[in-house]
């Protein structure tokens, strides 16, 4: 026999559990390490996002049908950059799913609709991927490589290991930071990207990246002229003259020439290398370089 208290408990819907900072961190880490494993052409990285969100969704939705609906909602097409896009969006989705679960449990009108959540993801994933790729893959990664190049030249294993370890650690910590802050700020998480602090960091990293590229070019692009001639019995060595005007002017000219080629023709690396090799062979053949 079922008494009155048991019947009441049976008919009372189970309330969603509270999502903690630890849950959000775990969600990002699951996304981080499963990012490319279930990659598919139909859904791209959506299986990774669902895998990351599953523990949170199970804490929020105690009804099987609601849980299935949440799984389907997070399994729609998704593609973004690992830490900037993935960090912000995992934290934001956790916040929005939590709000939806509370609305359902309290029998309130559901404002966190499926369309709202997917449109939020779709609106952010491309923009954040663009920022993340340019900052992480285009700047920070090469800063770590530039730091390690002298160690590699000395034969130290740190020259090979440091960029890999430092960049991996940087992305994990950055992703956790973004996911926690996005969860805390909820739908206002987009303001995090436009905050003065984040914009200052992006600008500083861009400037530092340009400095590091210049340092690498100056140290490791070696172009000198072998041209010598005499006027009225006085020898003139072209390289010495160039060094008095501006040391490193020839390597700078090569780097700027390749950069100009990329601007005009696009990022066609193989063609640029072939043209550069041909030009250098011709100049060396006539005795200029």
Convert the pLDDT of each residue in 149-168 to its tens digit.
Answer: 888 888 888 888 998 999 99
Indicate the average pLDDT of the chain. Answer: 78
The Cβ-side half-sphere exposure at 17, using a 13 Å CA radius, reads 10
pLDDT of 26 > 90? The answer is yes
| Confidence category of residue 5, pLDDT binned at 50, 70, 90 | very low
pTM score, two decimals? Answer: 0.64
Q: Mean pLDDT, to the nearest integer, of 62-73? A: 90
CA dihedral 110, 112, 114, 115 (to 10 degrees): 110
Chain segment 175-210, per-residue pLDDT in tens: 999 999 888 887 554 455 455 555 565 566 556 556
CA distances from 17 to 6, 56, 59, 197, 278 (A): 21, 9, 5, 33, 67
Q: Mean pLDDT, to the nearest integer, of 217-235? A: 68
Who's near 275: CB < 8 A, 6+ residues apart? 261
Identify whether the C-beta of residue 76 lies closer than 8 Å to the C-beta of residue 89: no
Q: Name 234's bridge partners.
A: 231
Burial of 120-147, coded b for 16+ CB within 10 Å and e otherwise, reads bbeebbeebbebbbbbbeebbbbbbbbe
Domain locations along the chain: 14-212, 222-285
Chain segment 92-144, per-residue pLDDT in tens: 899 888 888 888 888 888 888 888 888 888 878 877 887 888 788 877 888 88
């Amino acid at each position: 026999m079922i008494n009155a208290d048991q019947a009441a408990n049976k008919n009372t819907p189970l309330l969603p559990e509270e999502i903690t900072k630890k849950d959000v961190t775990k969600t990002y880490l699951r996304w981080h390490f499963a990012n490319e494993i279930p990659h598919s052409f139909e859904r791209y990285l959506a299986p990774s996002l669902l895998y990351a969100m599953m523990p949170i969704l199970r804490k929020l939705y105690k009804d099987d049908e609601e849980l299935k609906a949440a799984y389907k909602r997070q399994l729609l097409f998704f593609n973004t950059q690992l830490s900037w896009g993935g960090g912000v969006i995992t934290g934001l989705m956790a916040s929005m799913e939590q709000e939806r679960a509370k609305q359902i449990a309290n029998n309130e009108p559901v404002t966190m609709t499926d369309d709202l959540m997917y449109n939020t993801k779709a609106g952010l994933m491309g923009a954040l991927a663009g920022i993340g790729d340019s900052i992480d893959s285009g700047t920070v990664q090469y800063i770590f490589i530039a730091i390690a190049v002298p160690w590699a030249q000395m034969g130290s294993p740190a020259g090979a290991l440091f960029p890999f370890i430092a960049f991996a650690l940087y992305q994990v910590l950055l992703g956790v930071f973004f996911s926690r802050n996005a969860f805390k700020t909820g739908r206002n998480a987009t303001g995090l990207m436009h905050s003065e602090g984040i914009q200052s960091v992006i600008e500083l990293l861009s400037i530092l990246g340009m400095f590091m590229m210049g340092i690498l070019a100056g140290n490791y692009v070696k172009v000198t002229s072998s041209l010598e001639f005499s006027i009225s019995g006085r020898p003139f060595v072209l390289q010495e003259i160039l060094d008095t005007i501006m040391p490193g002017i020839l390597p700078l000219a090569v780097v700027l020439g390749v950069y100009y080629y990329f601007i005009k023709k696009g990022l066609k690396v193989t063609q640029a290398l072939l043209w550069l090799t041909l030009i250098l062979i011709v100049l060396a053949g006539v005795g200029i370089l």
